[in-house]
């Protein structure tokens, strides 16, 4: 298996401008084996003309409503030994395929991928801030963002969909992606693979440069992640993790802290107008004082932890400014992920779980 054939699958929906950059990068790959690049999307998607201009095969997604279904169509429409996946908003290093393919000489490797970071020069300031927050070693430690691995090749539970590859035989054995899944389709696929006893790995040097969404769009993206991860965990209980449950309590905790603060203000917990006077002789210790002091204390602790986690993270976008602002992005991520989890719990309780949910208009 010195130079196995490779198919690169790119699901795309109305993102033809960035797709053109992806295709040009893939056409410059240094891998000497056979490579087929395919884009799968809706019939009338503008990406189809971009594919024609780049002499790339475009596959009709047959009316798929989710990324998982579109990828399954592409898998069935190709026949290479290895299948690579990435997104339509990346900047592909020229040696991406060449770095990952050699690992398949090891029979223990059923799939292998690598980390993904925001491209520093091509990102706005807030996209860099979001990348720094994503790569935090504390608040997003349960995700794939910013994970480099400790060794040249490390075993992992999950590969990021934007930078992953698998043996075709393995994908066929597990039946591909779960029908109708999106947002957590890669999580469920990798879980099914590992249930068969097979192993997945990450190469710390095989970095994919993945553009982050701006703050307004990332809120919708992360809320969707919280929702679909909850629904996926309902279908596969083994995927449940304490960290995901803890984040669900973040929105109620924030609301309770603000409620307690304003109740404390209304009940004499703060001297006014000399609000800086916190002597016990001025404001006796009691619930009103506790209510006023709890909120700012929690805000301070939260920011300190967010800054520390971002500082310790692996994002190449780390600067004093992006680290300082990362606590804002971290709060946004926690609030929206938590709301997504709560929405998922609500759907499960109402008996309307399902998996077909998307954060893109199709």
Please state, in angstroms and rounded to a whole number, the distance separating the CA atoms of residues 99 and 113.
10
Helix then strand then coil, in percent of the chain rounded to 5, is 45, 15, 40
pLDDT recorded at residue 146:
65
pLDDT value for 362? 40
Integer-rounded Cα Rg, in Å, for the chain is 23
Check pLDDT > 70 for residue 358.
no
As a whole number of angstroms, the distance between CA 323 and CA 272 comes to 34
pLDDT at 284: 79
In the predicted structure, residue 361 carries a pLDDT above the cut 50? no
Q: What's the CA gap between 116 and 159, in Å, rounded?
A: 11
pLDDT bucket at 353, cuts 50 / 70 / 90: low
pLDDT-derived band at 10, boundaries 50, 70, 90: very high
Q: CA quadruple 242, 243, 246, 247: dihedral positive or negative?
A: negative
DSSP string, 20-89: HHHHHHHTT----S-EEEEEEE-TT-THHHHHHHTT-EEEE-TT--SHHHHHHHHHHT---SEEEE--TT
| C-alpha to C-alpha distance for 33 and 18, rounded to whole angstroms | 26
**Mean pLDDT over all residues of the chain?**
90
Tens digits of residue pLDDT in 243-288: 878 899 999 999 999 999 999 999 988 877 776 677 877 777 889 9
Rounded to an integer, what distance in angstroms lies between the CA atom of residue 310 and that of residue 319? 10
pLDDT, tens digit (0-9, with 9 covering 90-100), for 148-168: 777 889 999 999 999 999 999
224-228, 240-244, 349-353, 357-361: which range is least confident on average?
357-361
Distance CA 221, CA 67 (A): 14
pLDDT band at 139 (very low <50, low <70, confident <90, very high): confident
Nearest to 102 by CA among 116, 112, 91: 112
Q: Tokens 């990798």: give the residue.
A: 190
For 323, phi then psi, to 5°, come to: -65, -45
Q: 67 versus 279: which is more confidently predicted?
A: 67
Residue 151 makes CB contacts below 8 A (sequence gap 6+) with 204
pLDDT band of 359, cuts 50, 70, 90: very low
Entry pTM: 0.88
Which domains are present in the chain? 6-119+146-212 (3.90.550.10)
What mean pLDDT do residues 202-231 have?
A: 90
């Amino acid at each position: 298996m010195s130079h196995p054939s490779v198919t690169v699958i790119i699901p795309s929906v109305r993102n033809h401008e960035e797709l053109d950059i992806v295709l040009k990068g893939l056409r410059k790959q240094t891998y000497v084996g056979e490579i087929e690049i395919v884009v799968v999307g809706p019939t009338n998607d503008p990406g189809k003309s971009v594919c024609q201009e780049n002499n790339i095969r475009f596959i009709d997604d047959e009316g798929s409503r989710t990324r998982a279904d579109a990828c399954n169509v592409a898998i069935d429409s190709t026949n290479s030994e290895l299948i690579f996946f990435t997104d339509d908003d990346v900047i592909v290093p020229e040696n991406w395929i060449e770095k990952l393919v050699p690992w398949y000489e090891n029979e223990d490797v059923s799939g292998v991928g690598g980390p993904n970071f925001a491209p520093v020069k091509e990102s706005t300031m807030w996209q860099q801030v979001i990348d720094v927050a994503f790569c935090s070693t504390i608040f997003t430690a349960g995700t794939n963002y910013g994970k480099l691995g400790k060794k040249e090749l490390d075993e992992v539970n999950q590969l990021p969909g934007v930078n992953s590859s698998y043996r075709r035989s393995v994908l066929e054995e597990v039946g591909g992606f779960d029908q109708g899944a999106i947002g957590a389709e890669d999580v469920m696929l990798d879980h099914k693979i590992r249930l068969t006893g097979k192993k997945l790995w990450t190469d710390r040097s095989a970095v994919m440069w993945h553009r982050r969404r701006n703050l307004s769009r990332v809120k919708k993206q992360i809320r969707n992640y919280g929702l679909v991860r909850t629904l996926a965990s309902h279908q596969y209980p083994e995927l449940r993790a304490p960290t995901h449950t803890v984040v669900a309590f973040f929105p109620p905790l924030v609301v309770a802290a603000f409620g307690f603060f304003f109740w404390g203000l209304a009940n004499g917990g703060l001297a006014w107008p000399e609000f800086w006077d916190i002597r016990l002789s001025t404001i006796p210790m009691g619930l009103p004082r506790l209510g006023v002091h709890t909120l700012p204390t929690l805000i301070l602790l939260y920011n300190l932890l967010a800054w520390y986690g971002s500082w310790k993270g692996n994002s190449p976008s780390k600067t004093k400014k992006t680290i300082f602002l990362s606590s804002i992005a971290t709060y946004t991520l926690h609030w929206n992920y938590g709301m997504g989890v709560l929405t998922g719990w609500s759907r499960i309780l109402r008996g309307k779980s399902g998996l077909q949910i998307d954060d893109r208009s199709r």
